Chains A and B, each alone.
Chain A
């Protein structure tokens, strides 16, 4: 099993829709999780951290389900500018220094 797995998409949704995607991880000892956003041909940038109690930032909500070992990202009232690839990040097994990325989920918002 891969350490971090994401549905590659692409998710193609209309503007204003709500979209959600998950990321599963294999290291049950992981304590911290993150979502990054990457625009085409650009470097990834931190979108939000994922806390055990969940985390909300405007239209974005991230949640953690430890029992099933997945994190989720929900985007409400999606905008055209939300079109990007969303990357799930989990510290690797054996060392919290080792940061593993999922392969990313592509999101495309249509007018």
Chain B
């Protein structure tokens, strides 16, 4: 299995509080992604990174920010969590642009009350 871990795996928080999810990889892959998954919507891309300090928006980036200060870590931050951000968040890594396979973490389940 690819070396990718997400933390925390489960979190319950209240509306208006900041939340940071961490994705850590040991594969030295260039590309990292954050997705959210909700019933009826499949996986939707939030943000992605194509290198240290290089990030870009995905399909549903509003309300989220990311940072990648080193190759192995990609952080997803909800500055002020809302109930609509209750979801399962998946991080994924990919070796390079021409390598198709994404390897996923096990997911982080976030509940915003």
Residue from A43, A45, A49, A87 in contact with B42 in the complex, judged by beta carbons closer than 8 Å: A87
Given A97-B50, A100-B59, A101-B35, A43–B105 Cβ distance below 8 Å? Answer: yes
- The smallest C-beta distance from B55 to any residue of chain A, in angstroms, reads 11
Chain B interface size band reads 20 to 34
Residues of A within 8 A of B56 (CB): 95, 97-98
A104 touches B106 (CB 8 A): no
In which size bucket is the chain A interface? 20 to 34
Q: List the B side residues contacting A98 at CB < 8 Å.
A: 45, 48, 56, 58
Q: Is the CB of A99 within 8 A of B94?
A: yes
Shortest Cβ distance from B96 into A: residue: A97
Instruction: Name the distance in Å between B74's Cβ and chain A's nearest Cβ.
Output: 14
Q: Could you say which residues of chain A place their CB within 8 Å of the CB of B105?
A: 43
- DSSP majority for the A interface? loop
Contact status A99-B45, CB under 8 Å: yes
Q: Mark A26-53, 1 if CB is under 8 A from B, else 0.
A: 0000001010100000111110010000
Contact B97 A97 (CB under 8 A): yes
For A8, A45, A101, A102, the residue with the greatest tally of chain B CB atoms inside 10 Å of its CB is A101
The 4 closest A-B pairs by CB, nearest first: A103-B42, A43-B104, A101-B43, A104-B42
B residues at A contact (CB < 8 Å) = 31, 33, 35, 40-45, 48, 50, 56, 58-59, 90, 92, 94, 97-98, 100-102, 104-107
Known: A92-B45, A96-B97, A101-B43. 19 other contacts (CB 8 A): A6-B42, A8-B40, A32-B100, A44-B90, A44-B104, A45-B104, A87-B42, A89-B100, A89-B102, A97-B48, A97-B50, A98-B56, A98-B58, A99-B92, A100-B59, A101-B35, A101-B44, A103-B40, A104-B43
